[in-house]
Amino acid sequence: MANALSVYPTQSNTKEGPFQVLAGENLTGKEGCVCKLTHDSGVAEVVLPNDVADETEYLILEGAANGEYVTVVALERGQSVRVKLKGTCNPGDKLGLGTVDGTHDGNVETLPVAADTYWVFLVAEEAGVDEQLVLCRPLLAPAATVVS
């Protein structure tokens, strides 16, 4: 499908909206989790964050096993999304990556009290409870935030 940029010769093969990319790890059942784009020997793939400061710029729409194709969408300011929440939130709360513990990887949460540097990149648009796919929107200026 053509997009608005494809009419320009220098912008061929560009993508708009959801797209498929290889899973760099098992992403089965990870719909609604955020992920980051990386590569394996130059081949694009997505993985869950390994640290609370990882810059995650994609949302998993349809998960799959390691080495299979997953469907993701880039997070962009003009589009609200539903992301898996750890804990609770209220409208206007800033959200960042949840604790990377093997269970909640790719979930988001309000800033915890534990000292660390967190990637804060979303704002909640509704109240949310644990494990909910909470409605949120990417921040205009996402940033690493230090909690001390």
pLDDT, one tens digit per residue, over 66-102 is: 999 999 999 998 899 999 999 999 999 999 998 888 8
Query: 137's torsion region: left (phi>0), alpha (psi -120 to 50) or beta?
Result: beta
For the chain, strand residue ranges (E) read 19-23, 34-40, 43-47, 58-62, 69-74, 81-84, 94-97, 108-110, 116-124, 133-147
List, in sequence order, every residue forming a beta bridge with 71; answer none if it has no partner. Answer: 20, 62
Kindly report the pTM of this predicted structure.
0.91
What does the pLDDT read at residue 115? Answer: 84
CA torsion sign for 32, 38, 41, 44 is positive
| pLDDT by position in tens, the chain (length 148) | 557 777 788 888 787 899 999 999 999 999 999 999 999 999 999 999 999 999 999 999 999 999 999 999 999 988 999 999 999 999 999 999 988 888 889 999 998 868 888 999 999 999 999 999 999 999 999 988 888 7
